[in-house]
Amino acid sequence: MLSLTEKILFVLATAASLYFTYKGVKRIIAHISSGHGRPDWHLLWKRLGELIVKVGLFQPVFRFRLWTSILHALIGWGFLSFLLINLADLIYAFTHYKLLEHLGWFGDFYRLLADVANVAILIGMIALVVRRFVLRPATLSTRETTLLHPKARFGILRDSAIVALFILTHNTARLLGESFYVAEKGYDRWQPFISAVAGLWSAWDANALLIGERIMFWLSIGAVVAFLPYFPYSKHIHLFFAPINFALKPERRSIGELSYINLDDQTIEQFGAATMKDLGWEQLMDSYACIMCFRCQEVCPAYNTGKLLSPAALEINKRYHLNFGGGTDVPLTQLISEEAVWACTSCGACVDICPVGNEPMRDILDIRRNLSMMESAFPKQLETAFKGMERNMNPWNVSQADRMKWAEGLNVPTIEQNPEPEILWWVGCAPATDARAQKTAQAFAKILNAAGVNYAVLGKNESCTGDSARRAGREDIFFGLATQNVEILNEVKPKRIVTTCPHCLHTIKNEYPAFGGNYEVIHHTQFINELVGAGKIQLSVTSEQWLVTFHDPCYLGRHNKVFDAPREALKSTGVTTIEMPRHGAQSFCCGAGGAQMWKEEEAGTSRVNEARFKEAKATGANTVAVGCPFCLTMMSDASKADGGEVQVKDVAELVAERLK
């Protein structure tokens, strides 16, 4: 189809395009390589099946914004099918050989697939253009108060416009070019849409059709050649980095598991991340994988309550700095304000919802490590909790001598009294020392005793797991507590550990293995459910209409994937359960995680716990059930502020009230 001159021009243009594309890609690789660590390529083969499903079906995209996700999928699936189509078009342009007309049934099927895909891409793209540039929903941007790179606010719109123009040009020209060919050769039943368009050119002579084909080839494939050098600077580079993210992201037991720092190593000079080069290679790669879809911002409890934090803005700022600012030695506090850093509840919603596997929460917690350990720049309200954990092994600063006062009169055996229990109950600081949370511990003790469980507690030997210290950046406090606790637990050699706090569950299960502590750990609602299922406890099923809504604790649900057990335990009591709009993996935070329990909440339009409580109250429930002492405190405070009409109780309390 192309003349010799056109072929030469095309080869030269392609060579120039690939050269400048290579320069852009080389620059990206240099930036990513400047981060700590190196990818483990063995993970690629281990995750290959999962990777094919995620990329091929766009499965992570469909968890949020259904109709937008469908439009995105139309474009994505269309472009996957177009890889072979574009190759076939190149072969035809240079050899006049129509590959897909010589592959039998496969060629017929593929021409039909490409015809449908072409139309699907155009429909999806036009709809998304209308959404972004006409409807302009607030979810596709961020507030003016959010720290955003000066080039980003307009740059995202410009980038979207360039990409949209490229896709529309490429696919429209390809459709028209093929229609000119079909108009000359005759109707193709395997390309119904293209054949319909071909009818428009029925009066054209062969020469006019050939000229049309050539023009459309240059517009279609030429658009690809022209776009390639821009590709490394575009947000659509996520087409490559999203699959790499899924394939090579370091293995973690949970989305909230933080990297191990051996404080016995005297050579460590830097704690946490002060600049971009202090981040891991995968954290730098996150900025290139980012779609700038703002989904993480949309589910962020801090952003939703008017705080300065936007996890999306952090990733966007990283990318724009790398694209326009240069190297990776920029201070991270120029990309996210300290106030925003301390507003994070470490709920994991941003990590969980990201369709490309990014982890902005991890960046924030690494920045906290640097601020706390290197700069001593942390909210002063945290000092009380820090001192409590250092002096009395708990953030409430209650004496270890009083650790078992909650159990007086309940016949709760300690490990000294029962050295070989089937269950080691890790009570946790809150249930042991906080007046409200103690009721949860007392209720669970009644359940265990009623079921005749062979259990024990560590009593005065139990210390804080260090979760709050670690999420606040005080790795030194966490290291000391974790080392001590693992040493004690390894002496006890527990068969199973049951915790009454999801934060204890998460830390012992997911972070203590780095310290040599590997245990089977379950949540108390899981164990209650086991006891009910085994018939070891009998419940008096309530006859009154009692409506209960369950608030999923972030560290039980999102972080550790425990969703069903607390609900099943509630149903066993006979209460009627009703779900809040945001529940399960998409549950909204109570506001206490990430060490927020021990400090004042950053200024915003509302408090996180009050926003969550309003959602719970709107269900019409009489009771909000929880499975976490932090959630218990935050929801109870919100209920009191609202008048106290709605009860807030732990699942264990509701079960214990109905014990026969």
For domain 276-373, is the CATH number 1.10.1060.10? Answer: yes
What pLDDT is attached to residue 541?
81
Distance between CA 22 and CA 7 in Å, rounded? Answer: 22
**pLDDT per residue as tens digits for the range 460-507:** 999 999 999 999 999 999 999 999 999 999 999 999 999 999 999 999
Angle between helices 152-185 and 311-324 (to 10 degrees): 80
Which 8-state DSSP code applies to residue 201? Answer: G
**pLDDT per residue as tens digits for the range 311-364:** 999 999 999 999 998 889 999 999 999 999 999 999 999 999 999 999 999 999
Enumerate residues 6+ apart whose C-beta is below 8 A from 458. 414, 415, 424, 426, 427, 488, 492
**pLDDT per residue as tens digits for the range 97-149:** 999 999 999 999 999 999 999 999 999 999 999 999 999 999 999 999 999 99
**pLDDT per residue as tens digits for the range 184-239:** 998 999 999 999 999 999 999 999 999 999 999 999 999 999 999 999 999 999 99
Please tell me the pTM assigned to this model: 0.94
Q: State the fold for domain 535-656.
A: Rossmann fold (3.40.50)
DSSP strand E in 348-468: where?
Answer: 423-426, 455-457
Token pair for residue 154? 């307009």
User: Helices (H) and strands (E) in the chain — how many of each?
Assistant: 27, 8
Do domains 276-373 and 382-530 share one topology? The answer is no
Over 80: is that where the pLDDT of 542 sits? no
What pLDDT is attached to residue 543?
66
Q: Which of 292, 279, 155, 174 is nearest to 222 (CA)?
A: 174
Q: Hey, what amino acid is at 285?
A: M
Q: What pairs with residue 539 in β-bridges?
A: 659
Distance between CA 292 and CA 176 in Å, rounded? Answer: 32
Q: What is the mean pLDDT of residues 577-606?
A: 97
Distance between CA 354 and CA 162 in Å, rounded? Answer: 24
CB 397 within 8 A of CB 429: no
What pLDDT is attached to residue 268?
87
∠ Cα 166 227 330 (to 5°) = 115
CATH code of domain 382-530: 3.40.50
**pLDDT per residue as tens digits for the range 508-535:** 999 999 999 999 999 999 999 999 999 9
For 284-313, the three-class secondary structure string (H helix, E strand, C coil) is HHHHHHCCCCCHHHHHCHHHHCCCCCCHHH
Q: Which of 182, 184, 173, 183 is nearest to 214 (CA)?
A: 173
CB 433 within 8 A of CB 394: yes
Q: Which of 256, 312, 239, 251 is nearest to 282 (CA)?
A: 251
CB 624 within 8 A of CB 549: yes
Enumerate residues 6+ apart whose C-beta is below 8 A from 262. 268
Rounded to whole angstroms, the maximal C-alpha distance in the chain is 99
- Would you kindly state where each structural domain of the chain is located, as residue ranges? 4-138+153-248, 276-373, 382-530, 535-656
Q: What is the mean pLDDT of residues 147-162?
A: 96
**pLDDT per residue as tens digits for the range 496-505:** 999 999 999 9
